[in-house]
Amino acid sequence: MVSGMAQTARGRVIDSLAVQGTMKICIVGAGYVGLATGVMFAKLGNEVTCADIDESRVRSVSSGMLPFHEPALEKELAKAVKSGNIKATVKTVDAAKGSHAVFICVQTPSLPSGKIDIRPVKTASRAVARAIRGSDDHKLIVMKSTVVPTTTDAVVRPLLERLSGKLAGRDFSLCMNPEFLQEGSALNDSMKPSRIVIGADDKRSGYELARLYRQVKAPIVRTDIRSAEMIKYASNVFLATKITYANEIANICARLGIDSEPVLAAAGMDPRIGSLFLKPGLGFGGSCLPKDVKALRDGALREGYKPRLLTALLATNDSQPNEAIRMLEKSIGDLRGKKIAVLGLAFKGGVDDIRETRALPLVTSLLAKGALVTAFDPMAMPNFIRIMPTIRYAESAGDCLKGSDGCIVQADWPEFKRLGKKEFSSMRRPVVVDGRRCLDPRKVRASGATYLGIGYGLAER
């Protein structure tokens, strides 16, 4: 289909740019999504400029270093910087002006109401509009940030048109292209996505974006802009639902003396259910799932629809860290004055991102119960110290466990699996609540400790 369209006059515009060797791509927002997208396009031979308002981030990217922990992406960023395929700048307007395509990848965090904060999107759109106004060529503008349906139409498009004096679909192309990457495997997910969703309200815009993605092997889903925005929310709400379903089943199993792990594994063998995201844990966190569920709930309420499932998801997720505390209390009693080790502060193992980490409500509840908390995370400690400076931090997982009356594993870091007799026997009372079911129960028990896996009923009897 793409090659057919390449015969049209419109197609030729972008083809002629591509045959010149490379496309010039500007990424606005050098975060997880922006850098993964930028490095992917650089690896595919394009010239990429990442624009960010944060000067220290720009300095870091310019020297081939990531401002967050994502080793595979960092390796490829360093290569791309060395080969000259990626640059970084604080001058967004100039970078966008000199590019054929501009991807808006800025953050869209939750406001206290649950609504997303679109101020970064508006600021970025204004800068892109100034770039369109100041250049003669036909640019492709792509919204990649997650925004609730109608935002691109109601906010981004009018800003771009009003401030540039040009029309979307005529003078520049406009697409919505949601991102589905997971932190920890950001580059791989960008290079090998399960699907590429291209939302466009006119043929040329969609065609140009499909052309840009031509070297990425993945099914392309073509929709209008609003549906593309909605697909991202439909996907994340389903993932949040699956996690919450697993947790609810696990909580019931724990009370009935059943181990939830084989139960969920067998349920997941049904292809209608699927086995991924069915592990019991302390709830979903991170920069996307909680904020996206809240944003869709807020959007639905504004339209006069009561989204009961979304409300239940958030409430169930909020109380999930208490499951670990309940298990610990059942085993060691009142937590007042007890030394509790918390292993893992990131929202999941392998990353240093603490946005919406379950470690925050977990540690807050432990402190409210009078526990003395010592925490450790291989990468996320500096970020967590900023939001919770008053607890004690350990230098290693072993140091964290030493002299404690109990431990809760909050994030599934692979190194926690290596903990054994030496570390667990240094606990004053060796009780381990595995909040992510990531340890080997036999190894923990062999070291003389009590193992309590979340959603593990046998331990309760």
Q: Find the helix or strand (DSSP H, E) in which 450 lies.
A: strand 450-453
Query: Segment near ligand NAD (CB under 6 A), from 24-32, 223-231, 257-265, 306-314?
Result: 24-32
Q: Rounded to 5 degrees, what angle do the CA atoms 425, 367, 437 make?
A: 50
Instruction: Choose, by CB under 6 A, the member of 40, 66, 96, 105 that binds ligand NAD.
Output: 105
Using CB under 6 A, pick the residue from 61, 77, 96, 288 that binds ligand NAD. 288
Q: Coil, helix or strand for 459?
A: helix
DSSP 139-202: -EEEE-S---TTHIIIIIHHHHHHHHT--BTTTBEEEE------TTSHHHHHHS-S-EEEEESS
Minimum Å gap between C-beta 361 and ligand NAD is 20
Contact 22, 45 (CB under 8 A): yes
Question: Between helices 203-212 and 9-19, what is the axis angle to 10°?
Answer: 20
Q: Which of 17, 23, 25, 51 binds ligand NAD (CB under 6 A)?
A: 51
Could you say which of 24, 26, 34, 371 contacts ligand NAD (CB under 6 A)? Answer: 34
Tokens of 45: 């031979």
b (16+ CB within 10 A) / e for 235-254: bbbebbbbbbbbbbbbbebb
**Residue 138: both structure tokens together:** 């036909």
Of these, 13, 15, 54, 78, which contacts ligand NAD (CB under 6 A)?
A: 54
User: Which residue is nearest to ligand NAD, using beta carbons?
Assistant: 31
**Minimum distance between the CB of residue 54 and ligand NAD, rounded to whole angstroms?**
4
Stretch of 75-83, 120-128, 214-222, 451-459 lying at the interface with ligand NAD (CB under 6 A): 120-128
Question: Does 102 sit near ligand NAD (CB under 6 A)?
Answer: no
Q: Does 53 bind ligand NAD (CB under 6 A)?
A: yes
Shortest spacing between CB 404 and ligand NAD, in angstroms: 32
Select from 110, 146, 317, 374 the one that contacts ligand NAD (CB under 6 A): 146
26 is catalytic: no
Residue from 22, 89, 123, 450 binding ligand NAD (CB under 6 A): 123
Q: Is 145 in the site for ligand NAD (CB under 6 A)?
A: yes
Determine, following the binding rule CB under 6 A, whether residue 352 of this chain makes contact with ligand NAD.
no
169-228 positions binding ligand NAD, by CB under 6 A: 179, 181, 183
Task: List beta partners, residue 340.
Answer: 373, 406
Please say whether the beta carbons of 120 and 126 come within 8 A. Answer: no
Alpha-carbon gap, residue 249 to 261, rounded angstroms:
10
| DSSP code at position 212 | H
Quick one: 54 exposed, middle or buried, by C-beta within 10 A (0-12, 13-18, 19+)?
middle
Q: Are strands 173-176 and 196-200 parallel, antiparallel or unpaired?
A: antiparallel
Q: How far is the CB of 39 from ligand NAD (least distance, A)?
A: 13
| Beta bridge mates, 104 | 28, 143
In the complex, the smallest distance separating the C-beta of residue 215 from ligand NAD, rounded to whole angstroms, is: 21
Which candidate in 26, 50, 288, 400 is catalytic? 288
Q: Does 233 bind ligand NAD (CB under 6 A)?
A: no
Q: Given candidates 23, 24, 31, 346, which one binds ligand NAD under the rule CB under 6 A?
A: 31
Nearer to ligand NAD, 198 or 324 (CB): 198
| Interaxial angle between packed helices 71-83 and 55-62, expressed in degrees from 0 to 180 and rounded to the nearest 10 | 70
Q: In the set 108, 164, 177, 374, which binds ligand NAD (CB under 6 A)?
A: 108
- Of 288 and 363, which CB lies nearer to ligand NAD in the complex structure? 288
Distance in Å, CB of 220 to ligand NAD, minimum: 18
Q: How far is the CB of 172 from ligand NAD (least distance, A)?
A: 18
Q: Is 155 in the site for ligand NAD (CB under 6 A)?
A: no
Q: Can you tell me which of 81, 124, 132, 366 binds ligand NAD, judged by CB under 6 A?
A: 124
Max CA-CA distance within the chain?
76
Q: Is 287 in the site for ligand NAD (CB under 6 A)?
A: yes
In 3D space, the residue among 56, 38, 55 whose CA is nearest the CA of residue 47 turns out to be: 38
CA distance 377 to 392: 12
Q: Is the Cβ–Cβ distance between 400 and 341 less than 8 Å?
A: yes
The answer to whether residue 107 forms part of the interface with ligand NAD (CB under 6 A) is yes
Complex with ligand NAD: residue 73 or 210, whichever CB lies closer: 73
Separation of alpha carbons 152 and 147, rounded Å: 8
- Work out how close the CB of 236 gets to ligand NAD at its nearest, in angstroms, rounded to a whole number: 8
Judged by the rule CB under 6 A, the positions of this chain that interact with ligand NAD are: 28-34, 51-54, 57, 92, 105-108, 120, 123-124, 145-146, 179, 181, 183, 287-288
Q: Enumerate the active-site residues.
A: 288
